Structures are given as structure tokens and as C-alpha cells.
Amino acid sequence: MIGTTIDIAAAYLRAGEVVGIPTETVYGLACNALNPFAITKVFEVKERPFFDPLIIHVKDTDQINLYAELENDLLIKLAKEQMPGPLTLLLKKKDIIPDLITAGSEKVAIRIPSHPLAQKLLSQLDFPLAAPSANPFGYISPTTAKHVDQQLGNKIPYILDGGECAVGIESTIVGMEGDILVVYRKGGLSLDHLYQYTDNIRVNETSTSKPDAPGMLLSHYAPNCPIVIVKNWNEANINEQRGGFLTFNEKVESIENCTNVNLSITGDYHEAARNLFAALRHLDSLNLNVIYTKLLPEENLGIAINDRLRRAAVK
Ligand code: TXA
Ligand code: MG
């Protein structure tokens, strides 16, 4: 059931149930992060392997200290200035966090969502929420309550509707390795923002399924319809009757008569990020044989969007 009543969502969560919740990045599949039975349900609903750990969501930076060691000066500064927001910190966990959350790792991923409903919900609860993106494992992340309902609605009692996600792609995940700020997942907080804090940054490009080297699996965010990334539009077969196009700000005359979703006519990266997953879902619903797309310029949120397009194109 989709609704907007925080009390209902809170009651289900207290009872150990799994609830769809809005965040500013994507919708989450939330449960009490301190309750192993509830955590197990999240893995089951999402059909996610237990080796892939979950992010926990808390209300404010004081709460981070209840569950993890936030001691590094740079991370403290990032927490102060960029949280709440699309940033996740990977920190040494405290014992209270169940091993199921971290897949046995010593480190836990923590973030503070800025979405007002997520904030209100967290302030009613006396436990943190574990929440992966609310999609079946490997599929496109949801950015509306309806997306969640379409795929998981029959498996969970409630989806809290907070409208369309303002950011539209997942949080950026960072942690320290010695003096180096490591970016484990490119996301809604762009690298430009991070370079304002330090030049000593390593961006992990490789994807892996191992919990000690976080990030994401190579194939991810994938629609059922194959995606082909082209360098030039003339590589696409425009005579393919059941071909679709995902474009950024270009007007491509040769494909004017084809199915085409434009992520941002004005070339606005934030708008493109906000539209990305809904666009992929829409194209995937049209029963096409192929979706052609081109990578965005490697700047700003184009970097994180391209990361998702590349993974979506892996079969
Ligand atoms: O924006 C977001 O982060 C969304 C919203 C719902 O908060 N959540 C999200 O969760 O994207 P999920 O589970 O779809 O992706 C979390 C990623 C996974 O790739 C996982 O491997 C990594 O974070 N991760 C989580 N905990 C970790 C840990 N302790 N160590 C290493 N990687 C971790
Ligand atoms: Mg996910």
C-alpha cells in the first residue's frame, strides 16, 4: 500500500517489518538496522546476496557517533558540511551494529538523508534504518513510490510516498584509507565537491562483489532490454523498428521519428540525474529490442550518470 502517513510507516518499522521510504537520492527498502530478523527480510524482499552490505540511515551527526567511529578530521568536516545529503561515510563500526548489516566487515556505511519525510520518520524512531535501494537486486533503482510499488508492492506492507526524488541517483560513498579519501561509489555528490576538501582522492573504478572492497557489481541498474552505448549516433541502427534512444541535451535529427527520451534538453546535469532511472524504466516498459545511448561529458554529475549507464549496459 502507498501512503503518506509517517505514523503507519513507523509502526511497521517498530514491528520489524520492511517499508519503502523516500530519500532525496532514491527510494529505500527500510528496516530496523538493529534487528537481525528485520534485516534478513530486506535481503529476502530484494533477493540480494548476503555478501552485499547495507547502508544505515540516521537523523544527524550525533547519531553517527552512536553506531560508528567518526574521528578523522576530513570526514568530520564532510559530515558537518555535506550531511544531510547524498553522501555516505564508510566508518569503523561499533559493536551494536549487527554483522549482517556489514556482511562481516569492520566498517559500516552511514548516511543522513535530507528528505523531509525521511527526517521526520527517523526522529520518531529510536533505532537507525538500514535501507538498500528499493529495487530487486541488479535492476534500476526507484525514484518514485510507484516504481517501488510496481516491483515490490506485493512483498511489503507499506510504501511512504515522498514524491519524486530530488537527486535521483544514489549517494556518493567515501572513506579514508590512510590519508587518502577513497570514493567507493560515484553518486549524487559530485567529485568536484570532494576536491574542494582535498586533492588526495582515489576514485575506485573497479567494481567488485567483495564486501572488503565496496562498490557495486559490474552489472547493475540494468533494464531487461539491452542497452548499447554508441560513440556516434550513426552507429545506431535507426531502421530498427523497436529501438529506443536515451539522449542528453543533443537534438539528433536522424532519430526524430524514433522513441527518444531526453534527460535534459538544457544540458543540466542535476535534471539529467533526476530523470535517469525513470527514463530507463520507461524505455524498458516499451518492449523495445534495444536502447541506444551515448555517454555524457565526464564532468559534474555526468561522471556518476555514466557510471550507471556503463553498468546498465553490461549483460
Ligand atoms: O543513496 C543511497 O545510498 C541509497 C538510499 C536508499 O540511501 N541506498 C543505496 O543502497 O544505494 P544500496 O544497498 O543499493 O547500495 C549500497 C552500496 C552497495 O554497493 C554496498 O556494497 C555498499 O554500498 N556498502 C554498504 N555497506 C558497506 C560496507 N560496510 N562496506 C562496503 N561497502 C558497503
Ligand atoms: Mg542499489
pLDDT per residue over 265-315, tens digit each?
Answer: 999 999 999 999 999 999 999 999 999 999 999 999 999 999 999 999 987
Q: Is the CB of 135 within 6 Å of ligand 1?
A: no
> Which of the four pLDDT bands, split at 50, 70 and 90, describes residue 254?
confident
Q: Name the residue with cell 552507429.
A: 235
Determine the pLDDT at residue 196: 97
| Tens of pLDDT, residues 48-62 | 999 999 999 999 999
pLDDT at 229 over 50: yes
Atom of ligand 1 nearest to the CA of 215: 19
Query: In sequence order, what E strands does the chain have?
Result: 2-3, 19-21, 28-32, 55-57, 68-69, 87-93, 107-111, 129-130, 158-160, 172-177, 180-185, 201-203, 227-229, 243-247, 259-262, 290-293
Q: Which three cell numbers stand for residue 276?
A: 535517469
Q: Is the CB of 211 within 6 Å of ligand 1?
A: yes
Q: Is the CB of 190 within 6 Å of ligand 1?
A: no
pTM above 0.85, yes or no: yes
